[in-house]
Amino acid sequence: MTIDEIIDGFEFIDDWEERIRFLIELGRDLEPLPDEDHNAANKVQGCASQVWLKTEVGSGEDPVLTFRGDSDAHLVKGLVAVTIALYSGRTARQILATDAGETFDRIQLREHLTPQRSNGLRSMVERIKREAAGALGAEATPAAAS
């Protein structure tokens, strides 16, 4: 599902409990991450639940990054799905220029998450931006991950 389809889905649903169910469904629809990718290198630090992000970096001056992810918690897996939809398949420069906070605010995500889950979401975004910056080389620095 694209990020625009996810935003449309959230905007269509008024009730926050229904939005939570939608978020969980997004997580269920994620492509499974193979067991061997559930490792320390892919684990996202700063998340209360276990979260793994696998990154594939294309070649070129502004490489495209592709992300796959998983979590051991249903709701968090949905957050992983939203984050992947927002960033996967974009160039490193596009990733660095994308303000996740703007999207999360638009779908009222952050205002309904516990501080612990918000911190985990921020950790995922920061990891993705670090990887995009790394793909561009040392001169690139990630913008603040909101």
Residue with tokens 């889905």: 9
Query: For 108, left (φ over 0), alpha (ψ -120 to 50), or beta?
Result: left
Instruction: With residue 64 as reference, give the H or E element that holds it.
Output: strand 64-71
CB atoms within 10 A of CB 57: 15
Catalytic residue numbers, as ranges: 47
- For residue 53, the cross-strand partners are 69
Q: Are 6 and 30 in contact (CB under 8 A)?
A: no
Q: d(Cα 1, Cα 48) in Å, to the nearest integer?
A: 26
Q: d(Cα 70, Cα 78) in Å, to the nearest integer?
A: 9
